[in-house]
Amino acid sequence: MSEGYEIAPWQLAWNGLAVDQLQRTESTFALANGHIGMRGTLEEGEPRGLPGTYLNGFYEEHQLPYGEGGYGYPESGQTIVNVTDGKFVRLLVEDEPLDVRYGRTLEHRRVLDFRSGTLRRETEWESPTGKRITVRTERLVSFTQRAVAAIRYEVRAHDDLQLVVQSDLLANEPIEHVGGDPRVASALSSPLEADFAWAQGKRAVLQHHTKRSGLRMAAAMDHELATPDGLRTGIHAEGDLARFTAAVDVPAGKSLHLVKYLGYGWSAQRSVPALRAQVEAALAGARQTGWKGLLAEQRRFLDDFWEVADIEISGDEALQQALRFALFHIVQAGARGESRAIPGKGLTGPGYDGHAFWDTEMFVLPVLTYTVPDAARDALRWRHSTLDKARHRAEVLGQRGAAFPWRSINGAECSAYWPAGTAAFHVSGDVSHAVAQYVAATGDAEFEREAGTEILVETARLWTSLGHHDQHGRFRIDGVTGPDEYTAIVDNNIYTNLIAQRNLLSAVDACERHDDVREQLGVTSEEMATWRRSAEDVVLPFDELLRVHQQSEGFTEHDEWDFEGTPADQYPLLLHHPYFDLYRKQVVKQADLVLAMHVRGDCFTSEQKARNFAYYEARTVRDSSLSAGTQAVLAAETGHLDLAQDYLVEAAFTDLHDLHGNVRNGLHMASLAGAWTAVVAGLGGMRDHGGTLSFAPRLPSSLESLTFRMSFRGTRFSVDVRAGRATYAIVSGGPLHTSHHGEEIVVSPGEDVTLPIPDAPKPEPVRQPAGREPKRWGSHE
């Protein structure tokens, strides 16, 4: 029985036990809907790697550690909680528990299906005393019924057997904490305190609250059973455990069928009775729909998603699978978040303590904006709901407007590291960028009126407070950290300045469109004029001798890093070298100026992009999973098409190949989104500068064809790229106004537009830091 992932276009399958790989596969096989997340642990509970069930936004607080405190340092951290686990369905075969580590496992196969939205498993097992069974399970977290998950558990007996099934709700599951902060470990040691336990018939409810954050959550379960005669059942609930037990004699060749329905809910305000009512209502809805109905709803939801989001590649089956894997997990992260954050790991694991970062707005939300715009809107509504906290943070820092946090669950800053946390003010511009991008792509005037304009105004006020005009009349933003965390507390980081520039101009545009909102927010014509002038005067440092832009003022004058003398085992550098040395050398953790050339490419000439890309390519070590997708975009635009594909492959396989060695803690949502970016913005050449959509597609030599789908202002369309030509077609909706390599076109329903692709520019070769070259295309196979 061979082990490992199988390559298939619409699923991720793993054959074999590979107990030592469980922590990895529990992340890749996770199911979620943006509200509930369930790691892919086995129903029997053991063996296990790192179990986890999460509710988006449900966290516990802990004190942040400081060797030496300072004014403005955040005091409390937030960490996602492993809530009551309802995945348990334990099985005893003639008093012997099903555990694949004992007896003989004759077959074991798990399949994550991107079309059905379920995790399936089949295990043929022989107990130590020679009793054989086949277990088939299927699990889903519903996209259509937000508070619902369900499991179908079938046991087929190969001999006459007595089977006992134990279906549990279990809170405060003991988990080894893998982080380095003992305060976090202490906070997460039995973080839930019991409020209520009830059980009757086949249904049970457990309710708990967190000790410090004071959040309440409830979990409920109900069951349907189909068995031969002789069934006995029982149920009880107490504190942290509710258990439904069914015992039945099953003749050889017959089966026991169990469907387990789960309902989850949490609140910072609702009472214990109200939460109980909420989860019981969720169960009632699930029972009314039934297992087959839930499956049908899940399939319809995903059929609609793939119609607007699918990517098809010919010439690389493994990459095809990886891209659909990426898209599936992105939609799982955000589909039903509904005014909650999208964490950096989604709901696939406890990595980054469950925090959301700027990754959401700059990497994940573009995918959702052009595929599932409602999910992008809801994520931005979460940012809007935290504006009071952002205003307070700005006030603590002595600034006006709103300063969104570097990392958070509830909107309050949780970063204890100032240079790469608080100083990374670009996050406020990133949020505003996502707002402007969403409004331009959807035309959602209601959102802009109710939430978007206020976000743009308050972040614009931050920039005019944070920056200043110098004696030369230039608008400077000093003492900040850009996306590159190896270059901290710098003056005039170009990415920050350009994202602020767009923020300022977007605020002006929104205020002009919504005069009544402008008045409510107290925006005067003088303030708008200040925003315009600041945007026009923003500093973009340029090295006249090298003829390249400086990532930040003076960057190109720093000493060079000794890449030749840095062994491979000393990457990532932050784990082996002091930050002060990184800060004063020309070494880049992740795309920074290169990211600016993507999202604000309208501010650079083609020659500048080529020279800048070559210069920073030689200094970027990609110690962050955020980098490869962006480098793919600029590699493609500057003519390095094969290099673009190498970076696309790296972004797409970050989790499937565990390139950073930490998939056990959850998937890298921004890298998965970066794979989409590498395809659509890289090989597809999609840009949306100023809200205008344009394309400049090209293929690397090794790919036969590429087709991707998107949505813009309610129109769904596809772009099919083959050797020498591209075809634009409407999938649904009205005409699309766009451009192809600078030529304006209109694509109408039923009237495809096919155009030739001009030859790519022939750039000079580029190099990467010694030992940091991307793996060549084909090495992932």
- Residue 502's H or E segment, with its range, is helix 494-513
- pLDDT category at 777 given cuts 50, 70, 90 is low
Distance CA 702, CA 778 (A): 9
**How confident is the model over 472-499, as a mean pLDDT?**
97
**How confident is the model over 415-440, as a mean pLDDT?**
93
Predicted local distance difference test score (pLDDT) of residue 313: 96
Predicted local distance difference test score (pLDDT) of residue 327: 98
Predicted local distance difference test score (pLDDT) of residue 138: 98
Render pLDDT for 220-257 as a digit per residue (tens, 0 to 9).
999 999 988 778 999 999 999 999 999 999 999 999 99
Q: Residue type at 720? A: D
- The first and second tokens of residue 706, run together, are 């590429």
Render pLDDT for 527-545 as a digit per residue (tens, 0 to 9).
999 999 999 999 999 999 9
Render pLDDT for 684-700 as a digit per residue (tens, 0 to 9).
999 999 999 999 999 99
Q: What's the mean pLDDT when you consider all of the chain? A: 94
- The first and second tokens of residue 364, run together, are 């994940």
Higher pLDDT, 185 or 236: 236
Render pLDDT for 514-531 as a digit per residue (tens, 0 to 9).
999 999 999 999 999 999
**Is the pLDDT confidence value at 291 over 80?**
yes
**How confident is the model over 366-387, as a mean pLDDT?**
97
**Is the pLDDT confidence value at 67 over 80?**
no
**Is the pLDDT confidence value at 1 over 50?**
no
Distance CA 57, CA 76 (A): 16
Distance CA 146, CA 561 (A): 50
Render pLDDT for 28-50 as a digit per residue (tens, 0 to 9).
999 999 999 999 999 999 999 99
**Is the pLDDT confidence value at 339 over 90?**
no
Predicted local distance difference test score (pLDDT) of residue 692: 94
Distance CA 585, CA 579 (A): 10
Distance CA 128, CA 239 (A): 34
**Is the pLDDT confidence value at 706 over 50?**
yes
First-to-last CA distance in the chain?
20
C-beta of residue 560 within 8 angstroms of C-beta of residue 616: no
Predicted local distance difference test score (pLDDT) of residue 73: 81
Render pLDDT for 654-680 as a digit per residue (tens, 0 to 9).
999 999 999 999 999 999 999 999 999
Render pLDDT for 561-584 as a digit per residue (tens, 0 to 9).
999 999 999 999 999 999 999 999
Location of structure tokens 């946090």: 405
Q: How buried is residue 228: exposed, middle or buried, by Cβ count under 10 Å (0-12/13-18/19+)? A: middle
- The first and second tokens of residue 389, run together, are 């906290």
**Is the pLDDT confidence value at 187 over 60?**
no
**Is the pLDDT confidence value at 185 over 90?**
no
Residues of the chain above pLDDT 70, percent: 97
Render pLDDT for 579-602 as a digit per residue (tens, 0 to 9).
999 999 999 999 999 999 999 999
Cα 215 to Cα 58, 177, 206, 347: the distances in Å are 7, 21, 14, 18
Distance CA 122, CA 134 (A): 7
**Is the pLDDT confidence value at 779 over 50?**
no
Residue 189 pairs in a beta bridge with none
Q: Residue type at 740? A: H
Distance CA 345, CA 359 (A): 10
Q: Is 651 left (phi over 0), alpha (psi -120 to 50) or beta?
A: alpha
Query: β-strands 559-560, 585-586: how paired?
Result: parallel
Report helix, strand or coil for 700.
Answer: coil
Render pLDDT for 611-648 as a digit per residue (tens, 0 to 9).
999 999 999 999 999 999 999 999 999 999 999 999 99
Q: At what angle do helices 627-637 and 606-617 cross, to 10 degrees?
A: 140
Predicted local distance difference test score (pLDDT) of residue 189: 79
**How confident is the model over 331-354, as a mean pLDDT?**
94
- Residue 426's H or E segment, with its range, is helix 426-442
Q: Residue type at 721? A: V
**How confident is the model over 280-286, as a mean pLDDT?**
97
Residue 739 pairs in a beta bridge with 744
What DSSP state is assigned to residue 204? E
C-beta of residue 206 within 8 angstroms of C-beta of residue 262: no
Q: Alpha helices of 355-416 — where are they, by DSSP H? A: 359, 365-369, 373-385, 387-396
**Is the pLDDT confidence value at 182 over 80?**
no
Q: Residue type at 70? A: G
Q: Considering the entire predicted model, what is its pTM?
A: 0.96
Q: How buried is residue 324: exposed, middle or buried, by Cβ count under 10 Å (0-12/13-18/19+)? A: buried
Report helix, strand or coil for 353.
Answer: helix
What DSSP state is assigned to residue 588? B
**How confident is the model over 298-309, as a mean pLDDT?**
98
Catalytic machinery residues: 485
One DSSP character per residue, 96-135 reads EE--TTSSEEEEEEEEEETTTTEEEEEEEEE-TTS-EEEE
At residue 475's C-alpha, the angle toward residues 472 and 478, to 5°, is 110
CA 77 to chain centre: 21
Closest CA to 678 of 659, 703, 658, 660: 703
Q: How buried is residue 560: exposed, middle or buried, by Cβ count under 10 Å (0-12/13-18/19+)? A: exposed
Q: Residue type at 572? A: P
Q: Is 290 left (phi over 0), alpha (psi -120 to 50) or beta?
A: left
Instruction: Collect all residues with Cβ–Cβ distance below 8 Å to 775 and sequence separation of at least 6.
Output: 646, 649, 650
Q: Alpha helices of 521-626 — where are they, by DSSP H? A: 525-536, 579-583, 593-599, 606-617
